[in-house]
Chains A and B, each alone.
Chain A
Amino acid sequence: DQQVKQNSPSLSVQEGRISILNCDYTNSMFDYFLWYKKYPAEGPTFLISISSIKDKNEDGRFTVFLNKSAKHLSLHIVPSQPGDSAVYFCAASPQTGANNLFFGTGTRLTVIP
C-alpha cells in the first residue's frame, strides 16, 4: 500500500510562474519529509527537506510547506525555469533507525519557455 502519494502524474507551467507540487501521506509516524528532483538517466538529486516541527522551509526558489494535520506537503518553485523540468519525488521518513525513505510515485514537471 502506497504510504506516500503524489496524485498528479504531470504538471505544465509557464516559465516565470509558480509551480506547486503536492504530496500526501498516510503514516502518522513520518516526521521528516524530503523532495528530490530527477532527470532522465540520472539518480535523484536532493532538493529540500522539512522536519515535522516546522511548517515551512525555504531555500532560494524552493519552498516546502507541511500541514501535519492534513498529512499534506507541497513544494513551491518560484519563478519556474525551463531547467526545472524533471520528475519530482516526495519522500517521507519516520526518522528512526536507518531513516528509511518512502517515496511517492513522482510528478513530471514541464516548464514551458
Chain B
Amino acid sequence: DAGITQSPRHKVTETGTPVTLRCHQTENHRYMYWYRQDPGHGLRLIHYSYGVKDTDKGEVSDGYSVSRSKTEDFLLTLESATSSQTSVYFCAIMGQGKGSYEQYFGPGTRLTVT
C-alpha cells in the first residue's frame, strides 16, 4: 500500500463545468502523476510533478491543468469539462527505493461528463 488516496471516487458533472480531482499521498514521494484510462488506449499520462510547484505536461495534457502546493497533494483540474474527458483517472507516485522506477497507483476516480 503506497498510501495514495483519490477524491472523489466517482463524479458526474455537466459539460462546461469546472472539476477538480485530488490525489493525496502520505509518504513524502517527490514524483506524482495523473493518468487517464480509456478503452483501446491503456493508461495515458496527463501531467506529472517532480516537486512542490514543479509540474510538466504529459501525452494528453490539453484541457487539463495541475497544481502542487504541498508535497502530499496533487490536484488535477478540468477548467471546462467536455464529454471527451469522461474517463477513469488514476494518480500515481514513483517508488523511492534505490534503482526503483516503479509507479504505484491510487484507486482511481470515475468521471462522467454529461
- Does any Cβ of B come within 8 Å of A43's Cβ? yes
Q: What's the nearest-Cβ distance from chain A to residue B98, in Å?
A: 13
Asked if B56 contacts A101 (CB within 8 A), the reply is no
Q: What's the nearest-Cβ distance from chain B to residue A5, in Å?
A: 10
Find chain A residues with CB under 8 A from B92 CB. 43
Report which of A41, A42, A51, A105 forms a contact with B42, defined as CB distance below 8 A: A105
Residues of B in contact (CB 8 Å), total 27
Asked if B43 contacts A103 (CB within 8 A), the reply is yes
Q: What's the nearest-Cβ distance from chain B to residue A44, in Å?
A: 5
Q: What 1/0 mask marks residues of chain A from 98 to 113 whose CB sits below 8 Å from any chain B CB?
A: 1111111110000000
- Does any Cβ of A come within 8 Å of B44's Cβ? yes
User: Given A105-B41, A105-B42, does the pair A98, B105 have CB atoms closer than 8 Å?
Assistant: no
Overall SS of chain B's interface: strand
Asked if A46 contacts B101 (CB within 8 A), the reply is no
Asked if B48 contacts A100 (CB within 8 A), the reply is yes
User: Given A98-B56, A105-B40, does the pair A43, B107 have CB atoms closer than 8 Å?
Assistant: yes
- Does any Cβ of B come within 8 Å of A10's Cβ? no
A43–B31 CA distance with the chains assembled, in angstroms: 17
Shortest Cβ distance from A34 into B: residue: B102
- Does any Cβ of A come within 8 Å of B74's Cβ? no
Q: What's the nearest-Cβ distance from chain B to residue A59, in Å?
A: 12
Report which of B40, B43, B59 forms a contact with A89, defined as CB distance below 8 A: B43
User: Given A98-B48, A99-B31, does the pair A45, B105 have CB atoms closer than 8 Å?
Assistant: yes
Query: What are 8 inter-chain pairs, A to B, with CB distance below 8 A?
Result: A4-B42, A34-B102, A43-B105, A43-B106, A43-B108, A44-B43, A100-B33, A100-B48
Question: Known pairs A42-B107, A43-B107, A100-B58. 15 more at Cβ < 8 A?
Answer: A36-B105, A42-B108, A43-B105, A46-B102, A46-B104, A89-B42, A95-B101, A97-B50, A98-B31, A98-B50, A99-B101, A99-B103, A101-B33, A102-B45, A106-B42
